[in-house]
């Protein structure tokens, strides 16, 4: 990895971490009614069961237990024409229904689902969420289990704690910029220190911190994100192209097809020089 210095690297890491805070803007919270069951009812059947309020901080989830959570959400004016997402933080592994249709899941690797890609002010969504609390400590990585030892230890305490669920407007400019930054950062970490391309990528990442301005108000801030993306775009295409070329040459070398390496290098040179 090419090193431009501790202070520049530290600045880049701070900008990258801050960018993650701008992927979405919360516009409201969601309050649920819920019930628990050991069965597997359909959403509409579960909603007919006795329901209780579900405040933030409530604990739920016995062994093998499922929770059903219900709420109605109305989009405010700030969602007009915007992609709107739901960050469901009720706990457990969730399947989310909106207006009777399954729209996605929330689990360890998926923090949100999209309600709509073009929201309308006043639009209402009826949410039905099935969440599996779990069955206690997961032992699937511990190997064989003799019969005298319980494979699944009993659960003595509730497994899930309800957090604050929010609806939010998604910031696609910030998200796409984050993908570009992560891609170039990953690339420069594996390029040789003495590589000119590593220098160019490192300079581009430093340039990102000079363009993306998190202290601007909304509007100008998003403009700075788009400007930073455009600056990185000039480095993305040749950088990724070079990685593809390197992998191809490595495969050809292993197969002993040296003539194809020469042909590929000549063709690449002609395409770049326009000869």
The predicted model scores a pTM of: 0.79
As a whole number of angstroms, the distance between CA 181 and CA 16 comes to 8
Q: Are 80 and 121 in contact (CB under 8 A)?
A: yes
CA atoms of 15 and 159, how far apart (whole Å): 36
Nearest to 133 by CA among 43, 52, 64: 64
Q: Which residues pair with 85 in a beta bridge?
A: 114, 168
Q: Residue holding tokens 């030892």? A: 149
Q: Could you read off the pLDDT tens digit of each residue along the chain, which spans 275 residues?
A: 567 778 888 999 999 999 999 999 999 999 999 999 999 999 999 999 999 999 999 999 999 999 999 999 999 999 999 999 999 999 999 999 999 999 999 998 999 999 999 999 999 999 999 999 998 776 566 677 888 887 777 888 999 999 999 999 999 999 999 988 988 888 788 778 787 878 888 888 999 999 999 999 999 999 999 999 988 887 666 655 555 555 655 555 555 554 454 455 545 544 544 44
Catalogue all structural domains in the chain, each as residue range(s) with its CATH number.
6-20+172-273 (no CATH), 24-170 (2.60.120.260)
Cα three-residue angle 241-187-233, rounded to 5 degrees: 60
Tokens 């520049």 locate to 8
Q: Find out whether 163 and 56 touch, Cβ atoms under 8 Å.
A: yes
């Amino acid at each position: 990895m090419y090193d431009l210095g501790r202070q520049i690297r530290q600045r880049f890491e701070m900008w990258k971490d801050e960018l993650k805070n701008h992927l979405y803007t919360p516009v409201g919270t969601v309050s649920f009614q819920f019930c628990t069951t050991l069965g597997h009812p359909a959403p509409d059947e579960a909603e007919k069961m006795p329901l209780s309020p579900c405040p933030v901080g409530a604990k739920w989830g016995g062994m093998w237990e499922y929770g059903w959570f219900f709420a109605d959400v109305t989009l405010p004016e700030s969602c007009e024409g915007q992609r709107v997402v739901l960050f469901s933080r009720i706990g457990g592994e969730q399947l989310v229904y909106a207006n009777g249709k399954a729209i996605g899941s929330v689990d360890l690797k998926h923090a949100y689902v999209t309600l709509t890609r073009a929201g309308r002010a006043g639009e209402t969504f009826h949410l039905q969420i099935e969440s599996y609390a779990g069955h206690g400590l997961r032992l699937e990585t511990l190997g064989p289990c003799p019969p005298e030892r319980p494979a699944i230890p009993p659960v003595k305490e509730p497994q899930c704690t309800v957090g604050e669920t929010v609806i939010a407007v998604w910031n696609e400019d910030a998200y796409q910029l984050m993908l570009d930054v992560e891609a170039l950062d990953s690339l420069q970490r594996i390029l040789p220190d003495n590589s000119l391309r590593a220098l160019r990528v490192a300079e581009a990442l430093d340039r990102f911190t000079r363009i993306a301005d998190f202290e601007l108000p909304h509007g100008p801030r998003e403009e700075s994100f788009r400007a930073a993306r455009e600056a990185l775009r000039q480095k993305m295409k040749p950088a990724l192209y070079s990685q593809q070329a390197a992998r191809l040459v490595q495969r050809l070398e292993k197969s002993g097809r040296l003539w194809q390496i020469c042909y590929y290098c000549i063709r690449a040179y002609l395409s770049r020089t326009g000869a």
